[in-house]
Amino acid sequence: MTHTEWESLCDGCGRCCLHKLEDDADGRMYYTRVACELLDISTCRCKDYANRQKTVPDCIQLSVEQAHFFDWLPDTCAYRLLAEGEPLPDWHPLITGDPQSVIDAGISVRHVAISESDDIDLTEEVIALQPPVYPHDT
């Protein structure tokens, strides 16, 4: 797979850019609605993707070689799904040809994420990431 093909797997949901908490007792991970300082919440894309690891040193660069570590990614993530031998979901932009499909399916964090700030208590911002993460407009 080429670098471009690999990068195209990202559906732009923004879930991997949410702060996470790990339970010390059982190792379970919990997502919060607090977004990384570099996540543009309106587009669910990184504001400085090329240089993100300079600003956010613990930002993880995903690669094929790390596929066995992808269990921390959301269960809707194409990188994780492919690593587990699963197909892309029918709402994925590579299937639909439309980047809006991730938003329409309620997978994007655009409507639930909040910006990172020093006065936020992450333990009060835990959310469930069961699709959809917001009610659909009807």
What would the pLDDT profile of 65-118 be if each residue is shown by its tens digit?
887 788 889 889 999 999 999 999 999 999 999 999 999 999 999 999 999 987
Is residue 66 assigned to a domain?
A: yes
Beta bridge partners of 32: 126
Indicate the DSSP class of residue 1: -
Please count the structural domains in the chain.
1
Residue 116 belongs to some domain of the structure = yes
Regarding predicted confidence, which is higher, 39 or 134?
A: 39
Residue closest to 68 by CA, chosen among 80, 60, 76: 80
Has residue 74 been placed in a domain? yes
Residue indicated by tokens 């469930």: 128
* Closest to 113 in 3D by CA, of 13, 10, 28, 8: 13
The distance between the two most distant Cα atoms of the chain, rounded to a whole number of Å, is 42
Q: Is residue 135 part of a domain?
A: no
**Residue 137 within a domain:** no
Instruction: Look at residue 35 and tell me if it is in a domain.
Output: yes
Which residues form the domain of 58? 3-127
Give domain status of residue 133, yes or no: no
In the predicted model, what is the mean pLDDT of residues 50-70? Answer: 88
- CA distance linking residue 76 with residue 91, whole number of Å: 10
